[in-house]
Structure 1
């Protein structure tokens, strides 16, 4: 399998105002393959978002390295945050083209890209709507389109459904996994929801408490096209993996 992203012995230490230091990430290594979704799950404060900031080029690691296909993390990585952060004064289509606009892509090229995404992913007819008129699920669809519009090699999903109700969250988990597969992208998902990780990911990396390291890599051996988010709950394999991950997190937290 083709490696899209490789992390080698990544560590992160922050300096404190009093001259001390805090180690957020001890040692993390993994590979993300083409067309794959990897979920990161672990205790709160274990450094997951810090890891995303390193992958996206917002932070330099204290040690170790990341390699992303294409070479430039800022150009090769798309980042979808917990909040959609749509600009309220801009229409749906103008929010979708925002990243392309920042990169200097002319509207004659960016608008056709946005229109294709909007039509493909269920928002045709809402091109000129303002974010305030959209439901939470629709706003998140706009956010994922904005992330995909500039064609990143890797998509980072930082708890993108955490603010949504259970029904909308469950539907979007399936939708976003499908969209990423259709666009032939690779993605890393941060989540505190074990069920979400098992629904969307091909592999789950369980992280320890801070300073974090990978304590388990779990391959999800259920075909993605058979992972109905509701039906999975009655699959014995789902329950076994859920308990394994839960025990990892709880055992490490207790230690």
Structure 2
């Protein structure tokens, strides 16, 4: 897990506004290693989603660059948003194949890929169901399948469980981490939930307030197969990580001392 699949090199972002320039990201650098889940935590408004938009190419950074070690132009990054954004008039399988259709894949081939994902991740029998008939957790499973269907090199997870109840969110944290590992993907997770970051990530980047910089990079040394979301909370290592990150976020303005 030492080969960077993505590198953010001295990223800075400034927006122009009516009242003058706004510095959203000061200087952020990191590597995403192959097969790793990297979590970004930080105060609201510190530029995490802006950073995701830079990684996807939706925004050009004011400074620095994103380098992705992939030769599949246009298929490097999959983005799973806070809301599932499933199309209500399309069935589960037709929502899963949406990105493949946009990329021009033949419908029969796209549906075969979708059926494999649906069977592998617990929704067999719901292929023809409409999103309105699914639970919140099932809808998020469809969303992650749609993200994985076109086989991206990097998966971006932007608070994907924030709208779910505690029980569903807890179960999905473990499931999505497992799915990403099984598919041998590399992922970046944005979350405000410190416990979620510890449960899912191999490393955590703690960001300061705007303009954001990296306060700390923390390796989570609890093996993934020992990351049951409930029993983990009684692990002293979990508590130590939690307290350390919490204290970082309580620094004056969450700035580097």
TM-score norm. by structure 1 comes to 0.97
Shift of 1:252: 3.8
Q: Which residue of 2 aligns with 1:138?
A: 138
Shift of 1:145: 0.0
- Structure 2 unaligned segments of length 5 or more: list them: none
* Counterpart-to-counterpart distance in 1, 2:73 and 2:80: 15
* 8 A contact 1:180–1:187 mirrored in 2: yes
**SS where residue 94 of structure 1 aligns?**
helix
* 8 A contact 2:75–2:151 mirrored in 1: no
* Counterpart-to-counterpart distance in 1, 2:84 and 2:59: 22
Q: Which residue of 2 aligns with 1:171?
A: 171
Q: Does 1:2 align with 2:7?
A: no
C-alpha distance 133-27 of structure 1, shift in aligned 2 (>3 A): same
* Counterpart-to-counterpart distance in 2, 1:138 and 1:213: 36
List structure 1 segments (4+ residues) > 4 angstroms apart after TM superposition: 71-74
Q: Which residue of 2 aligns with 1:61?
A: 61
* Counterpart-to-counterpart distance in 1, 2:11 and 2:72: 17
Shift of 1:160: 0.1
* Counterpart-to-counterpart distance in 1, 2:170 and 2:207: 24
Could you give the per-residue CA deviations for residues 175-219 of structure 1, whole angstroms, max 9, x where no partner exists? Answer: 000000000000000000000000000000000000001000000
Q: Which residue of 2 aligns with 1:250?
A: 250
Superposed, 1:186-197 pairs within 5 Å as 186-197=186-197
* Counterpart-to-counterpart distance in 2, 1:73 and 1:65: 17
* Counterpart-to-counterpart distance in 2, 1:82 and 1:41: 15
* Counterpart-to-counterpart distance in 1, 2:146 and 2:156: 13
Q: Which residue of 1 aligns with 2:47?
A: 47
**SS where residue 26 of structure 1 aligns?**
strand
Shift of 1:75: 2.0
TM-score norm. by structure 2 comes to 0.97
Q: Which residue of 1 aligns with 2:129?
A: 129
Give aligned pairs, total: 254
Shift of 1:73: 7.1
* 8 A contact 2:86–2:143 mirrored in 1: yes
C-alpha distance 72-27 of structure 1, shift in aligned 2 (>3 A): farther
Could you give the per-residue CA deviations for residues 85-128 of structure 1, whole angstroms, max 9, x where no partner exists? Answer: 00000000000000000011111210110000000000000000
* 8 A contact 1:208–1:214 mirrored in 2: yes
Superposed, 1:84-233 pairs within 5 Å as 84-233=84-233
* Counterpart-to-counterpart distance in 1, 2:55 and 2:103: 19
* Counterpart-to-counterpart distance in 2, 1:253 and 1:228: 33
Q: Which residue of 2 aligns with 1:33?
A: 33
